[in-house]
Homo-oligomer: A and B are copies of this chain.
């Protein structure tokens, strides 16, 4: 089996970290000058490894090895959250580069084709998963035209400022790839708590959102007796407590739900709120469970309206994100590789956060590998993982890639 080079892997990760470094964290929003510097550096590192490397018209960096397919695409995104960690995205990108190098260096695997990739704007500075959407041909022109960052800069302006406007946009070629692999830090606590080294991702959870509205009667907080009130805020508090009970009864082990926003109107100390509103979001890998949760949220609203005195309505708040199932065959190769390198120290698990494979999976079989996050922290300067875990994850993914490609050649 090909051996990855741990020192080279970690040195490249440390180098990528310098672009936008801020203390222990990184500020490298997509298409910013420092992000483009990092992309040019990545393309050069790919060329140093003997790959043809191009930055495409939206900023994706794709390295293409000279060998014909069947090939594996391996990577992640190299942009970060506004105040992000050093591994979110970056680690998976350098894994792709290192695996391409490791396989090419070893005579027994030099014939296998691995192309590394660094997607652009997975974090949604302008438009979430911009790079993979463009590559899969599912970037809607209207969405692209409307996209702008928090400062009001349009995506089009940012692409022009990055010098990308005239470059061609790469697209998924018809016959080259047999799959896409992405490694990522877990961003949650499960691997660390279970004292395991590797997570084999089974699916990326789906997301549903409900807007719940409460319409009561605004009134004087002094002269209106408690029994005559139609207090929209009180109805909201009751709903929040009750939906927790309902969801707890339905939830699986990994189900999560969040009320991220709640507002009372008019919001004055001496006025009984006449209206209130909350955003309720819930995530799970099971579409059927998400259906049951959504039905429970709507049913609770109807029950509250019937009970009175406040009218409550719950409706779907955002385009639902369906769970994305990882390819079973690719999962098995990763699981086998993990069992060989770290016997018994891995598990299958869903991803609770979104990743580019949500976009890519309908077009190309996908699989993901997780390594532990220290304290489960991510999207924060404190995000970190142990260096030995980073190295182990890369070797397991390299083994899996080799196994997948050998298997495809033999077929």
Contact = CB atoms under 8 A, between A and B. Distances in A.
Contact of A225 (B221, B222, B228, B256): B256
A221 B273 CA distance: 28
Nearest to A221: B258
Interface string A191-221: 0000000000000010101000000000011
B354 A223 contact: no
Contacts of A233: 240, 259-260, 262
Interface in A150-173: none
A353 B260 contact: no
Most buried by B among A237, A254, A264: A237
A225 B353 CA distance: 12
B205 A222 contact: yes
B264 A221 contact: no
A264 to B, nearest CB: 5
Interface residues of A, number: 54
A223 B269 contact: no
A268 B224 CA distance: 33
A289 B216 CA distance: 28
Nearest to A207: B222
Given A222-B353, A256-B221, A262 B261 contact: no
A304 B311 CA distance: 30
A303 to B, nearest CB: 16
A279 interface: yes
A271 B262 contact: no
Contact of A209 (B234, B261, B269, B378): B269
A33 interface: no
Contact of A254 (B186, B225, B378): B225
A25 B299 CA distance: 40
Contact of A190 (B225, B283, B352): B225
B222 A283 contact: yes
B254 A260 contact: no
A130 to B, nearest CB: 18
A267 interface: yes
A410 interface: no
A376 B220 CA distance: 10
B256 A260 contact: no
A307 interface: no
A379 interface: yes
Given A221-B256, A259-B264, A379-B220, A241 B238 contact: yes
A238 B241 CA distance: 7
A225 B270 CA distance: 38
Given A222-B353, A223-B376, A281-B221, A258 B272 contact: yes
A263 interface: yes
16 contacts: A188-B225, A220-B352, A221-B256, A221-B281, A222-B256, A223-B352, A223-B353, A223-B378, A226-B256, A233-B240, A237-B259, A258-B272, A260-B270, A260-B272, A261-B269, A269-B281
Given A225-B254, A260-B267, 5 more contacts: A189-B224, A223-B353, A234-B240, A260-B268, A263-B263
Q: Which 4 A-B pairs have the closest CB atoms?
A: A188-B223, A237-B240, A221-B258, A222-B352
Interface of A: 186-190, 205, 207, 209, 220-226, 228, 231, 233-234, 237-238, 240-241, 244, 251, 254-264, 267-273, 279, 281, 283, 317-318, 352-354, 376, 378-379
